[in-house]
Amino acid sequence: MQFADFDSAAFLQDTWQKRPLLIRNPWAAWANPLEPDELAGLACEEAGIESRLITRRPEGFVLESGPFPEARFAQPESAPWTLLVQAVDHHVPEVAALIAPFRFVPDWRIDDVMVSYATAGGGVGPHFDQYDVFLVQGLGKRRWRVGPRCDAGTELLPHEDLQLLRDFEATGDWVLEPGDILYVPPGFAHDGVAVGDDCMTYSIGFRAPSRADLVEGWTAHLAAAMAEDDRYSDPDLPIQPNPGEITPEALARLRALVVDAVADGAAFARWFGAFNSLPKYADADWRPETPIGLDAVQACLADGREISRNPASRFAFIRQGERAVCLFVDGQSFDCTGDAAALAEQICAGGTLSVEPRLAGSVPVASLLAALVDLGSLAFEEAE
Residues 55 and 157 in one domain: yes
Confidence of residue 7 (pLDDT cuts 50, 70, 90): very high
Residues 83 and 187 in one domain: yes
Question: What is the spatial distance between Cα 365 and Cα 310, in angstroms, rounded to a whole number?
Answer: 19
Ramachandran region, residue 330 (left: φ > 0; alpha: ψ -120 to 50; beta: rest) = left
Residue 275 has pLDDT above 80, yes or no: yes
Percent of the chain with pLDDT over 70: 99
Ramachandran region, residue 233 (left: φ > 0; alpha: ψ -120 to 50; beta: rest) = beta
Query: How much is the average pLDDT of 42-67?
Result: 92
pLDDT number for residue 288: 93
Q: What angle do CA 345, 283, 220 make, to 5 degrees?
A: 70
Domain boundary among 150, 185, 206: 206
Question: What is the spatial distance between Cα 104 and Cα 12, in angstroms, rounded to a whole number?
Answer: 9
Strand partners, 56: 61
* Residue 80 within a domain: yes
* Residue 82 within a domain: yes
Domain boundary among 206, 238, 256: 206
What's the distance, CA 171 to chain centroid?
29
Query: How much is the average pLDDT of 168-180?
Result: 97
Residues 167 and 312 in one domain: no
How does DSSP classify residue 361? G
Residues 13 and 158 in one domain: yes
Question: What is the spatial distance between Cα 377 and Cα 315, in angstroms, rounded to a whole number?
Answer: 9
How confident is the model over 106-154, as pLDDT tens digits? 999 999 999 999 999 999 999 999 999 999 999 999 999 999 999 999 9
* Residue 133 within a domain: yes
Query: How much is the average pLDDT of 49-67?
Result: 94
Where in the sequence is the domain holding 340, given as residue range(s)? 294-380
pLDDT number for residue 350: 83
CB contact at 8 A, 136 and 181: yes
How confident is the model over 293-337, as pLDDT tens digits? 999 999 999 999 999 999 999 999 999 988 899 999 999 999 999
| Radius of gyration of the chain, Cα coordinates, nearest whole angstrom | 25
In a 3-state reduction of DSSP, which class is residue 103?
A: coil
pTM summary value: 0.92
pLDDT number for residue 340: 97
pLDDT number for residue 76: 67
The two beta strands, 181-184 and 324-329, are unpaired
* Residue 255 within a domain: no
Read off the CATH number of the domain in which 186 is found: 2.60.120.650
pLDDT number for residue 13: 98
Of 92, 141, 142, 83, give the one whose Cα is nearest residue 112. Answer: 92
In a 3-state reduction of DSSP, which class is residue 360?
A: helix
How confident is the model over 211-222, as pLDDT tens digits? 999 999 999 999
Looking at every residue in the chain, the average pLDDT score rounds to 94
Percent of the chain with pLDDT over 90: 89
How does DSSP classify residue 382? P
Query: How much is the average pLDDT of 242-262?
Result: 96
**Structural domain count of the chain:** 2
The two beta strands, 81-85 and 60-65, are unpaired
Residue 352 has pLDDT above 80, yes or no: no
pLDDT number for residue 285: 82
